[in-house]
Amino acid sequence: MQLAVWTYEGPPHVGAMRVATAMEKLHYVLHAPQGDTYADLLFTMIERRGKRPPVTYTTFEARDLGKDTAQIFQDAAREAVARFNPQAIIVGASCTAELIQDDPAGLSEAMNLPCPVIPLELPSYQRKENWGAAETFYQIVRQLADKSVVREPREGRKARANILGPTALGFRHRDDLVEIRKILALLDVEVNLVAPLGATPEDIGRIGAADFNIVLYPEIGDEASRWLERTFAQPAVRTVPIGVGATRSFIADVAELAGADPTPALGDTSSRMPWWSRSVDSTYLTSKRVFIFGDATHAVAAARIAREELGFEVCGLGCYSREFAREVRAEAARCGVEALITDDHLAVEDAIAAAAPELVLGTQMERHIAKRFGIPCAVISAPVHVQDFPARHSPQMGFEGANVIFDTWVHPLVMGLEEHLLTMFREDFEFSDEAGASHHAAHSPRKATPAPAETAPRELETVGAAQAATVAEATERNAEMAQALWTEEAERELKKIPFFVRGKARRNTEAYATAEGIAPISLETLYDAKAHYAR
Amino acid sequence: MSVAEILEGCAAEVTRDARAATEAQRPILRERGQREVFCGLTGIIWLHRKMQDAFFLVVGSRTCAHLLQSAAGVMIFAEPRFATAIMEERDLAGMVDAQDELDRVVNRLLERRPDIKTLFLVGSCPSEVIKLDLAKAAQRLGAVHMPRVRILNYSGSGIETTFTQGEDACLAALVPVMPALPANAPKELLIVGSLPDIVEDQFLRLFAQLGIDRIGVLPARNARDLPSVGANTRYLLAQPFLGETAMALEGRGARRIEAMFPFGAEGTSDWLRAAAREFGIDAAHVEQVIAPARARASRALANLRPQLEGKRITFLPDSQLEVPLARFLQDELGMELVEVGTPYLHRAHLARELDRFGPNVRLSEGQHVERQLDRVRADRPDITVCGLGLANPLEGEGLTTKWAIELVFSPIHGFDQAADLAELFARPLRRRDMLEV
What's the pLDDT tens digit per position in B46-91? 999 899 899 999 999 999 999 998 876 655 555 688 999 999 999 8
**Residue A521, pLDDT above cutoff 70:** yes
Q: Which residues contact B207 (CB under 8 A, 6 or more apart)?
A: B189, B213, B215, B272, B275
Find, among B322, B239, B42, the residue nearest to B158 by Cα.
B42
* Domain membership flag for residue B377: yes
Structural domain contains residue B304? yes
Using the beta-carbon criterion (under 8 Å), do B126 and A99 form an inter-chain contact? Answer: yes
Q: Do B112 and A459 touch (CB under 8 A)?
A: yes
pLDDT value of residue A529: 87
**Which residues in chain B have their CB less than 8 angstroms from residue A4's CB?**
65, 83-84, 86
Please report whether residue B309 resides in a domain.
yes
Contact: A7, B128; criterion CB under 8 Å: no
Res B303: pLDDT: 95
Q: Which residues of chain B have a CB within 8 Å of the CB of A6?
A: 65, 69, 75
User: Which of B166, B172, B151, B134 lies closest to B45, judged by CA?
Assistant: B166
Q: What is the mean pLDDT of chain A?
A: 88
- Specify whether the CB–CB gap between A345 and A460 falls below 8 A: no
Distance of CA B181 to the CA centre of its chain: 26
The mean per-residue pLDDT over the stretch A322-342 comes to 96
Residue A458 scores a pLDDT above 90: no
Query: Does residue B97 contact residue A22 with C-beta atoms inside 8 Å?
Result: no
Preferred mutation among A129, A460, A462, A467 to probe B, highest tally of B CBs within 10 A: A460
Question: CB–CB of A80/A27 below 8 Å?
Answer: yes
Whether the per-residue pLDDT at A177 is higher than 70: the answer is yes
B142 domain residue, yes or no: yes
Q: Is B62 close to A10, i.e. CB distance below 8 A?
A: yes
* Closest alpha carbon within chain A to B55: A460
Separation in Å, CA of B141 to nearest CA in chain A: 17
What per-residue confidence (pLDDT) applies to B105?
Answer: 94
Chain B positions touching A123 (Cβ under 8 A) are 89
Is B158 within 8 Å of A459 when comparing Cβ atoms? no
Average pLDDT, chain B: 92
Residue B380 has a pLDDT of 98
For chain A, say whether B7 makes contact (Cβ under 8 Å): no
B393–A364 CB contact, under 8 Å: no
Residue of A nearest to B111 (CA): A457
Which residues of chain A neighbour B105 with C-beta distances below 8 Å? Answer: 1, 3
- Residue A145 CB contacts under 8 Å (≥ 6 apart), including other chains: A204, A205, A207, A208, A228, A231, A232
Select the residue from B52, B56, B79, B370 to test the A interface by mutation, using most A Cβ atoms within 10 A: B79
B428 neighbors B401 (Cβ within 8 angstroms): yes
DSSP-assigned letters across all residues of A501-519: HHHHHHHHHHHHHHHHT--
Q: Please tell me the predicted confidence (pLDDT) of residue B340.
A: 98
Chain A residues in contact with B30 by the CB 8 A cut-off are none
| Mean pLDDT score, B373-393 | 97
Task: For residue B158, give the nearest of B35, B342, B322, B71 by alpha carbon.
Answer: B35
Alpha-carbon distance B97 to nearest alpha carbon in chain A (angstroms): 10
**Rounded percentage of chain A residues whose pLDDT exceeds 90:** 70
Q: Do A7 and B66 touch (CB under 8 A)?
A: yes
The DSSP bridge partners found for residue B137 are: none
Task: Give a yes or no: residue B390 inside a domain.
Answer: yes
Q: CA-to-CA distance for A486 and A495, rounded, in angstroms?
A: 12
List the single best residue of B66, B164, B367, B399 to mutate versus A (max A Cβ within 10 A): B66
Residue A88 in this model has a pLDDT that exceeds 50: yes
Are B101 and A1 inside 8 Å of each other by CB?
yes
Q: Residue B152: beta bridge partners?
A: B120
Domain boundary among B159, B177, B202: B159
A197 and A18 in contact (C-beta within 8 Å)? no
- pLDDT classification of B20: cutoffs 50, 70, 90: very low
457-486 in chain A: CB under 8 A from chain B: 457-462, 464-465, 468
A493-502, B100-109, B405-414: least confident range: A493-502
- State which residues form the domain around B81: 41-159
User: How many percent of chain B have pLDDT more than 90?
Assistant: 83
Looking at residue A379, what is its pLDDT? 96
A14 in Cβ contact with B66 (< 8 Å): yes
Under DSSP, the state recorded for A42 is: I
Q: How far is A56 from chain B (nearest CA, A)?
A: 7
pLDDT digits (tens, 9 = 90+) for A362-402: 999 999 889 888 899 999 999 998 889 999 999 999 999 99
Task: State the best of B7, B38, B70 to mutate against chain A, taking most chain A CBs within 10 Å.
Answer: B70
Band the pLDDT of A123: cuts 50, 70, 90: very high
The answer for residues whose C-beta is within 8 angstroms of residue B395's C-beta and 6 or more apart is: A50, B401
CA distance A105 to A122: 12
Which string of b and e fits B49-67 if b means at least 16 CB within 10 Å?
bbbebbbbbbbbbbbbbbb
For A:19-58, CB contacts with B below 8 A are 33-42, 44-46, 48-52, 56-58
Question: Is the CB of A44 less than 8 angstroms away from the CB of B390?
Answer: yes
More reliable by pLDDT, B384 or B23: B384
> Which among A5, A11, A44 is the nearest to B83, CB-wise?
A5
Looking at residue A310, what is its pLDDT?
97
Would you say residue A464 has pLDDT above 90? no
How many alpha carbons fall within 13 Å on the CB side of residue A433? 24
- Which residue of chain A has the CA closest to B368? A59
Q: Is the pLDDT of residue A481 over 90?
A: no
Among B126, B144, B159, where does a domain finish?
Answer: B159
pLDDT value for A422: 66
How far is the CA of A419 from the CAs of A327, A408, A431, in angstroms? 36, 19, 11
Which whole number is the average pLDDT over B418-426?
Answer: 97
Q: Which residues pair with A162 in a beta bridge?
A: A193, A213
- Judge: B160–A62 Cβ closer than 8 Å, yes or no: yes
Domains identified in chain B, total number:
2
For residue A119, is it left (φ>0), alpha (ψ between -120 and 50) or beta? beta
Whether residue B3 is predicted with pLDDT greater than 80 in this model: the reply is no
Å from A135 to nearest chain B CA?
18
Q: Write phi, then psi, for B2 (nearest 5 degrees).
A: -90, 165
Verify whether the Cβ–Cβ distance B85 to A1 is below 8 Å: yes
Q: Which residues, numbered 354 to 383 in chain A, qualify as contacts with chain B under a Cβ-Cβ cut-off of 8 Å?
A: 364-365, 368, 372
Q: Which residues of A touch B112 (CB under 8 A)?
A: 457-460
Single out the catalytic residue among A40, A281, A407, A433. A281
What residues of chain B lie within 8 A of the CB of A94, using their CB? 63
Does some domain include residue B111? yes
Which alpha helices (H) appear in B317-386, and where do they start and end? 322-333, 351-354, 369-379
CB atoms A52 and B395 under 8 Å: no
Q: How far is B355 from chain A (nearest CA, A)?
A: 30
| pLDDT at residue A440, rounded to an integer | 66
pLDDT band for position A436 (cuts 50, 70, 90): low
β-strands B215-218, A189-195 pairing: unpaired
The pLDDT of residue A445 is: 44
CB contact under 8 A, A95 and B393: no
Beta carbon pairs, A and B, within 8 Å: 210
Strand residue runs (E) in A144-211: 159-164, 189-195
Q: What residue in A sits closest to B109 (Cα-Cα)?
A: A460
A66 exposed, middle or buried (CB, 10 Å; 0-12, 13-18, 19+)?
exposed
Contacts of B82 in chain A (CB under 8 A): 5
Q: Is the ipTM of this complex over 0.95?
A: no
pLDDT per residue as tens digits for the range B303-354: 999 999 999 999 999 999 999 999 999 999 999 999 999 999 999 999 999 9
A2-4 vs B82-86, strand pairing mode: antiparallel
Portion 88-107 of A in contact with B at CB < 8 A: 94-96, 99-100
CATH of the domain at B125: 3.40.50.1980
Domain boundary among B159, B191, B221: B159
Distance CA(A59)–CA(A80), nearest Å, equals 13
Question: At a CB cut-off of 8 Å and minimum separation 6, what does A480 contact?
Answer: A453
Asked if the structure places residue B129 within a domain, the reply is: yes
Tell me if B84 and A4 make a contact (CB, 8 A cut-off). Answer: yes
3-state secondary structure of A195: strand
CB distance A35 to A154 below 8 Å: no
State phi, psi for B434 to the nearest 5 degrees: -75, -40
Answer yes or no: A281 catalytic. yes
Stronger pLDDT, A516 or B330, i.e. the higher one:
B330
**Displacement of CA B367 from its chain's centroid (Å):** 18
- Residues 59-88 of chain B whose Cβ lies under 8 A from any Cβ of chain A: 59, 61-63, 65-67, 69-71, 73, 75, 78-80, 82-88
Q: Is the pLDDT at A480 greater than 80, yes or no?
A: no
Q: What is the pLDDT of residues A1-30, one digit of tens each?
A: 988 888 999 999 999 999 999 999 999 999
Chain B nearest CA to A62, separation (Å)? 5
Dist. CA A17–CA B95, nearest whole Å = 31
How would residue B149 be classed by pLDDT, with cut points 50, 70 and 90?
very high
| Helices within B253-350 (DSSP H only) | 264-278, 283-308, 322-333
Q: Is B39's CB within 8 Å of A94's CB?
A: no
Helix or strand run (H / E) with residue A378 = strand A377-379
- Inter-chain residue contact A34 with B83, CB threshold 8 Å: no
Share of chain B above pLDDT 70, in %: 92
Give the mean model confidence (pLDDT) for residues B127-148.
94
Q: In the structure, what pLDDT confidence band is assigned to residue A479 with cuts at 50, 70 and 90?
A: very low
Region A237-261 average pLDDT: 97
Question: Which residues of chain A lie closer than 8 angstroms to B104, CB-CB?
Answer: 1
Chain A: give the shortest CA distance to residue B214, in Å: 36
**Cα–Cα distance, B375 to B381 (Å, whole number):** 10
